[in-house]
Structure 1
Amino acid sequence: MQSEIYNRIQDHPDFRELVLKRKSFALKLSLVVLVMYFSFILLIAFAPDVLATPVASNSVVTWGIPLGIFIIITSFLLTGIYVKRANTEFDEENQRIIDECLHGR
């Protein structure tokens, strides 16, 4: 009985669309984070002077510090965006599909 319900859910066209939508969204956010991190590493490797430049004259803070903090905060924010969307839109759609398959609508 349970495997029959799982098969109905997996075969549901809205479920397949939901899976593609969720994967696409996660991939886009992951690519943003990866580009940021790899760009930062490449900047360290090939243009370290840029990150070593002080933010202002007579400042001990270099551009590497705020850029690193920006990358970390942006990563947290993107994670929050994914969680928010997953807990609302994706979960609601998933529950609708499950209810539809369980109750035979």
Structure 2
Amino acid sequence: MEKNIARQVLENPKFQKMAKTKSMYCWSYSALMFVIYVIFIMYIGTSPESFGTPVSEGSTTTVGIYVGLFVILFAIAITGVYVRQANGPLEVITQDVVSEVLNNTKTDSASKNAASDTDAVNAAAKEA
């Protein structure tokens, strides 16, 4: 029964569209994060001395600290955006599809039970 419900949810067009959208977000954000990391590593590899450059005269804080902090905060921010989208509108679509499938399943089983109850009443009436 549960496999049947899961199959119905997976085959639902709304669920498939939601899954494609979620996948698109996932791959887009992954590609964007990959590009940021590649640029970061290439910058370190081609110009390591610039990471050691102080931000201002007499400062102990270097450019590298800010660049590294940017990469970390960007990763956190992009993860937050993805989680908000996945747990917001996309989760609502998933819940709607599951409710729809469960309601259809309950309606179908109620119809079958009503039909079997009618058959039982008819059989009892014939015997009487």
The answer to whether the superposition gives a TM-score over 0.5 is yes
* Separation in structure 2 between the aligned mates of residue 94 and residue 67 of structure 1, nearest angstrom: 38
Aligned equivalent of 2:53: 53
The RMSD of aligned alpha carbons is 1.4
Give the C-alpha shift of residue 100 in structure 1.
Answer: 1.0
Give the C-alpha shift of residue 49 in structure 1.
Answer: 2.3
Query: Which 5+ residue runs of structure 2 have no aligned equivalent?
Result: 108-128
Aligned equivalent of 2:77: 77
SS of alignment partner, residue 56 of structure 1? coil
Greater length-normalized contact order (CA 8 Å, ≥ 6 residues apart) = 1
The amino acid that maps onto 1:75 is A
SS of alignment partner, residue 60 of structure 1? coil
% identical equivalent positions: 29
* Separation in structure 1 between the aligned mates of residue 83 and residue 11 of structure 2, nearest angstrom: 26
TM-score, normalised relative to structure 1: 0.91
Give the C-alpha shift of residue 62 in structure 1.
Answer: 1.5
Aligned equivalent of 1:23: 23
The number of equivalent residue pairs is 105
TM-score, normalised relative to structure 2: 0.76
Deviations 1:45-87 (A, max 9, x none): 1111222222112222211100101111111111111111111
> Which protein has the larger Cα radius of gyration, Structure 1 or Structure 2?
2
Aligned equivalent of 1:90: 90
* Separation in structure 1 between the aligned mates of residue 79 and residue 52 of structure 2, nearest angstrom: 29
Deviates more, 1:44-53 or 1:22-31: 44-53
The amino acid that maps onto 1:58 is G
Aligned equivalent of 1:14: 14
* Separation in structure 1 between the aligned mates of residue 52 and residue 38 of structure 2, nearest angstrom: 18
